[in-house]
Amino acid sequence: MGFAETMNYLEAIAYLHSLTDYEKTRIERYTPEALDLSRVERLLAAVGHPHTCFPAVHIAGTKGKGSTAALCEACLRAAGYRTGCYTSPHLHTFCERIQVAGRKITRQEVVALVEQVRPLIERAPGVTTFEAITIMGFLHFARSGVDVAVVEVGLGGRLDATNVLMPEVSAITSLSLDHTYLLGNTLAEIAREKAGIIKPGIPVVSAPQRPEAIEVLEAISRERGAPLTEVGRDWDYEPGPADLDGQVFTIQRITGGGSELDGEYWIPLLGRHQLENGASAIAALDIMCQQGFRIPAEAVRKGLRNVHWPGRLEILSREPLIVVDCAHNPYSAQVLRQALEEWFPGQRWVLIFGASTDKDIAGVLRALLPISDYIIVTRSDHPRAAAPIELADVVASVGGGAEVSVNVRKSLRRGLAVMDPGRLRPAFGVSAQSNAQSSHGLLVSGSVFLVAGAREEWARYTGTPLPDNDNE
């Protein structure tokens, strides 16, 4: 297709994926040669340095960075700011990744941006899909006149395309082992890569971390003269009442004489780990208040109450009970299991599981196997999805057994068929509790792509409107 020809939306998305796409193919080297920030800076310079046109909140981490971004954006929007929000990957449609004032970028705007940046990309060999999308996102924010943008790191931090930003505040959410073949085999090594977003003199917030991670963050913050605020040290939070609709927590700044944002809040996100994210978001917003942003506590309450971040410990249905969660590494799977045990005490699960080939699949399964009486392994449509028969072998290697299903559609319907008491066979993996006691819940987990497929299939199954997606 020549540059003069007009693309349609699907052609524009296909073009982006025709670049070096490390979301679809495994990246082998996390190096400046593969991920070149100077290349991103040159491309941004060619379109007028859009990333310098707005203040930003920059968020890295292993778990919770998307939730923290959504929480920050919702509060800033509730305070009256015109917001940009940049996150990845998406659940259903590419347009989710780039949002202004809570609205997804339109397909027409995506096409226009691709057509603008394509000639520049063609002259810059090696541009990755994520680099191109980041440039498009920053261009869209600048053109839309956002007052502030909340930007989630894609991979790592130090070499991520978003790290060209000079934000008002940086945040690092919970760190654990993931992408170890790229970022390092220890928590300290991973912390060092994530800490690459810490800029000289720019305040940074950290969620509670394990000792070997926080030691690295503290050392790098000192080296760069970046004031470090730690949730758990500088901010204290306490969980309050919780139900299937959400949870209450109270928070207080315990250094510096307290904060106007001290108080009680409610979020519609389940799992105690979301309180860490909520506390980290409030700590970042408090720093912005000190810098002159007007973010009253009432706006924060409104923003947190109205935040929307699907696919994370999300209850698709209460009868039958269906829960989906994007946990894709052992730590996030352990957090998921703890949350399920708290929110659904004594509940046993039919697990529908799928994962990408580059994940610690055995580690995730070890976390979820003790609460699962029946396992169905399947795959999403994503190119990196592991084959179900290979997943079944991994289930067997950790002491379980699994039924193989070829796709999400069949697996969801099969899962529904075996949820009732008396239908499960203890021969499949972990010995089942007395099936006469209670029915099972259906849990879908292992990857964001699997959760997206399950959400779409549940909409088809129930006859409700499908989420806006790129396959329809």
In CATH terms, the superfamily for domain 9-306 is: Mur-like, catalytic domain (3.40.1190.10)
- Higher-pLDDT residue of 294, 358: 294
Q: Do 172 and 207 meet the contact criterion of CB atoms below 8 Å apart?
A: yes
Instruction: Supply the Cα-derived Rg of the chain in whole angstroms.
Output: 22
Sorted by sequence, the CB contacts under 8 Å of residue 348 that are 6+ apart come out as 371, 372, 373, 432, 433, 438, 440, 441
**Confidence band (pLDDT; 50, 70, 90) for 31?**
low
25 has pLDDT over 50: yes
Here the tokens at position 444 are 């879908």
* Residues 86, 91, 92: CA angle, nearest 5 degrees: 110
Mean pLDDT, range 360-378, rounded to an integer = 95
In the DSSP assignment, the letter for residue 185 is S
Tell me if the domain spanning 314-462 has CATH number 1.10.287.610.
no
253 has pLDDT over 50: yes
**Confidence band (pLDDT; 50, 70, 90) for 433?**
very low
pLDDT computed for residue 471 by the predictor: 73
Q: End-to-end CA distance of the chain, in Å?
A: 23
Q: What is the pLDDT of residues 189-209, one digit of tens each?
A: 999 999 999 999 999 999 999
12 has pLDDT over 50: yes
Q: Do 194 and 169 meet the contact criterion of CB atoms below 8 Å apart?
A: no
184 has pLDDT over 80: no
Q: What is the pLDDT of residues 309-352, one digit of tens each?
A: 999 999 999 999 999 999 989 999 999 999 999 999 999 999 99
* Residues 362, 364, 369: CA angle, nearest 5 degrees: 90
Q: Do 350 and 416 meet the contact criterion of CB atoms below 8 Å apart?
A: no
Burial tier of 363 (Cβ tally within 10 Å: 0-12, 13-18, 19+): middle
- Which of 106-110, 224-228, 264-268, 377-381 shows the lowest per-residue confidence on average (mean pLDDT)? 377-381
pLDDT computed for residue 429 by the predictor: 39
469 has pLDDT over 90: no
pLDDT computed for residue 128 by the predictor: 92
179 has pLDDT over 60: no
- Which of 3-7, 271-275, 416-420, 440-444 shows the lowest per-residue confidence on average (mean pLDDT)? 3-7
**Confidence band (pLDDT; 50, 70, 90) for 230?**
very high
Across 29-38, 64-73, 461-470, which has the greatest mean pLDDT? 64-73
Sorted by sequence, the CB contacts under 8 Å of residue 412 that are 6+ apart come out as 352, 442, 444, 454, 457, 458, 461
pLDDT computed for residue 1 by the predictor: 46
Q: Where are the domains of the chain?
A: 9-306, 314-462
285 has pLDDT over 70: yes
Nearest to 354 by CA among 453, 420, 432: 453
Backbone angles phi, psi at 136, to 5 degrees: -60, -40
Residue with tokens 């707005």: 54
On average, the pLDDT of the chain sits at: 90
pLDDT computed for residue 423 by the predictor: 52
**Confidence band (pLDDT; 50, 70, 90) for 383?**
confident
Q: What percent of the chain has pLDDT over 90?
A: 79
- Higher-pLDDT residue of 22, 41: 41
Here the tokens at position 283 are 């700590």
pLDDT computed for residue 434 by the predictor: 36
Residue with tokens 């070829």: 406
- Phi-psi map region of 201: left, alpha, beta (phi>0 left; psi -120 to 50 alpha): left
pLDDT computed for residue 32 by the predictor: 55
Query: Which three-class secondary structure state does DSSP give residue 44?
Result: helix
pLDDT computed for residue 346 by the predictor: 93
pLDDT computed for residue 314 by the predictor: 97
447 has pLDDT over 90: yes
Mean pLDDT, range 113-122, rounded to an integer = 96
Q: Crossing angle of helices 388-397/361-368, nearest 10°? A: 60
**Confidence band (pLDDT; 50, 70, 90) for 27?**
low
142 has pLDDT over 60: yes
Residues 44 and 134: their CA atoms lie apart, in Å, by 10
Residues 401 and 118: their CA atoms lie apart, in Å, by 48
Q: Crossing angle of helices 273-290/297-306, nearest 10°? A: 140
pLDDT computed for residue 163 by the predictor: 97
20 has pLDDT over 80: no
Residues 386 and 400: their CA atoms lie apart, in Å, by 18
